[in-house]
């Protein structure tokens, strides 16, 4: 029996080249009709006496396709995945959103071209996808004929076949273009209900527009839908060309006062600094200077606030000699300086220098003013000598000349303290009776070496100097 069947199939294949066969059902048996009388007829008669067999063919079931990123246009060759709308195992249909991608010009939503189940995602969020490369794998839904007639039940097989034909009619695929399918999906139109006028039953765009009663010009005016592809414009800054002239760097050797400052400041940063600040009401000092100014001018001497402050600082150092001291190189001993050699920071054409007024404790305010004027003149002419710049034991810097109130002055080694004077400002203050008065306020900042001087000592020194400057007549009594 098996041999006869195989032989019949071989002959049938050879005969099919020259003859046309048709399959029909009559009763419970199959009858095969052909156009010529050959030996196949004898075999056919024998087969009719046998138990009928069903020959069944189907389309490919559960085929997996790689959904590739199509060309977005504008010369874009790669995009960045911004968001996935599906995950592995999700069922998708045509025009369902798959993901949103970001190019260098716009954000685009990618939609599915297949019906099926997502089996693989090729990229994670924020990864780059190339045009023409797969985005996801989709396992297509079964579209074949799965009805197989059971043995000994041909009538049931005929009924099942009829049902399958009806189902296939409902799932018939309309021959058309993706653009027409997109319009149909946006307007929710079943393409099988549209009359196709194209060649071989192809559904044209004009057929769909005629079905919708809209013109070609308005074909893009579609209702908003979550399934539509929307491009979000991203602002792009226009590139502007700028011409820059490359300047050549200049190398200047460190010499003179600059080299000395580099050396001293490098050593200064090894000192643990602390800062104490306060305000002095120098209203009476301002009035006293105005009174003395006319008298000193007759001696051809310029009297500023600095000579008075220097003398008051020297008197305060007598009471707090630790401020006028230094540490030895081994930091084993404190050296108390007998002379009050007070340096005054001064701006010159060569930069900031600190000339020193020596033995202030033995000099009067007039003598200090005269020497200060001499040092300023030398500094403006770049005539300061080594003797004028060395030997200092305490330093005062007047930043108020250029502006500013408070600062953190840096100690000049081997000294252990330094003061910075801000500008004198006219500010409202309360007197002893609670009345608002105009006051001249001097802001002062002190830095000290915390290895030698504690905060209390620095505060007491500042208070003593404050008393001298707020009460100039007391200063005269202690001279």
DSSP per-residue codes, 62-74: S-EEEEEPPP-ST
pLDDT of residue 29: 40
User: What is the number of alpha carbons within 13 Å of residue 136 lying toward its C-beta?
Assistant: 29
Active site residues: 450, 454
pLDDT of residue 223: 52
pLDDT of residue 13: 55
Per-residue pLDDT, averaged over 238-245, amounts to: 63
pLDDT of residue 235: 60
Per-residue pLDDT, averaged over 266-294, amounts to: 92
Q: How confident is the model at residue 308 (pLDDT cuts 50, 70, 90)?
A: very high
Tokens for 398? 């007047």
- CA–CA separation, 10 vs 215, rounded Å? 58
Q: Is the pLDDT of residue 56 over 80?
A: no
Instruction: Note the Cα 131 to chain centre separation in Å.
Output: 28
pLDDT of residue 61: 53
Model confidence pLDDT, tens digit, residues 260-275 = 788 888 999 999 999 9
Highest mean pLDDT among 62-71, 108-117, 126-135, 330-339: 330-339
Residues composing the chain: 479
pLDDT over 70 for what percent of the chain?
Answer: 71
pLDDT of residue 145: 43
Q: Which helix (H) or strand (E) holds 143?
A: none
pLDDT of residue 94: 85
Q: How confident is the model at residue 1 (pLDDT cuts 50, 70, 90)?
A: low
- CA–CA separation, 391 vs 395, rounded Å? 11
- CA–CA separation, 161 vs 154, rounded Å? 10
pTM of the model: 0.50
Q: Which helix (H) or strand (E) holds 126?
A: none
Place of tokens 């021959």: 175
Model confidence pLDDT, tens digit, residues 349-367 = 878 889 999 999 999 999 9
- CA–CA separation, 458 vs 418, rounded Å? 11
Task: Tell me which residue of 419, 184, 452 sits closest to 313, measured CA to CA.
Answer: 419
Q: Is the peptide bond before 414 cis (omega within 30 degrees of 0)?
A: yes
Highest mean pLDDT among 14-18, 258-262, 339-343: 339-343
Burial of 360 (0-12, 13-18, 19+ CB in 10 A): buried
């Amino acid at each position: 029996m098996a041999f006869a069947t195989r032989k019949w199939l071989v002959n049938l294949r050879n005969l099919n080249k020259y003859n046309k066969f048709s399959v029909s059902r009559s009763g419970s048996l199959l009858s095969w009709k052909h156009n010529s009388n050959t030996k196949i007829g004898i075999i056919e008669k024998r087969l009719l006496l046998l138990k009928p067999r069903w020959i069944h063919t189907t389309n490919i079931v559960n085929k997996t396709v790689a959904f590739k990123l199509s060309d977005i246009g504008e010369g874009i060759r790669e995009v960045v995945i911004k968001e996935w709308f599906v995950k592995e195992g999700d069922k998708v249909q045509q025009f369902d959103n798959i993901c949103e991608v970001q190019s260098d010009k716009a954000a685009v939503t990618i939609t599915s071209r297949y019906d099926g189940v997502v089996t693989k995602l090729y990229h994670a969020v924020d990864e780059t996808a190339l045009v023409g490369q797969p985005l996801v794998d989709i396992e297509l839904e079964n579209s074949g004929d799965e009805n197989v007639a059971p043995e000994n039940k041909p009538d049931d097989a005929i009924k099942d076949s009829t049902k399958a034909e009806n189902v296939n009619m409902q799932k018939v695929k309309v021959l058309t273009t993706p653009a027409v399918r997109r319009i149909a999906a946006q307007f929710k139109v079943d393409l099988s209900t549209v009359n196709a006028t194209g060649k071989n039953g192809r559904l044209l765009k004009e057929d769909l527009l005629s079905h919708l009663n809209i013109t070609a010009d308005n074909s893009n005016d579609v209702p908003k839908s979550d399934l539509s592809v929307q491009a979000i414009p991203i602002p792009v800054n226009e590139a502007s060309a700028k011409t820059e002239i490359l300047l050549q760097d200049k190398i200047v050797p460190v010499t003179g006062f600059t080299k000395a400052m580099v050396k001293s400041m490098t050593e200064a940063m090894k000192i643990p600094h602390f800062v104490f600040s306060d305000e002095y009401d120098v209203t009476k000092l301002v009035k006293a200077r105005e009174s003395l100014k006319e008298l000193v001018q007759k001696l051809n001497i310029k009297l500023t606030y600095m000579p008075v402050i220097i003398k008051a600082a020297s008197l305060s150092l007598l009471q707090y000699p630790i401020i006028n001291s230094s540490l030895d190189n081994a930091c084993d001993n404190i050296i108390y300086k007998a002379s009050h050699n007070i340096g005054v920071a001064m701006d010159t054409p060569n930069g900031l220098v600190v000339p020193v007024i020596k033995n202030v404790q033995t000099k009067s305010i007039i003598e200090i003013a005269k020497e200060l004027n001499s040092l300023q003149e030398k500094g403006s002419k770049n005539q300061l000598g080594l003797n004028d710049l060395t030997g200092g034991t305490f330093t005062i810097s007047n930043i108020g000349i250029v502006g500013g109130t408070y600062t953190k002055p840096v100690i000049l080694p081997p000294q252990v303290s330094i003061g910075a004077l801000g500008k004198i400002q006219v500010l409202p203050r309360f007197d002893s009776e609670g009345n608002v008065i105009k006051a001249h306020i001097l802001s002062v900042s002190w830095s000290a070496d915390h290895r030698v001087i504690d905060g209390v000592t620095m505060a007491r020194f500042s208070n003593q100097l404050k008393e001298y400057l707020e009460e100039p007549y007391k200063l005269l009594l202690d001279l």
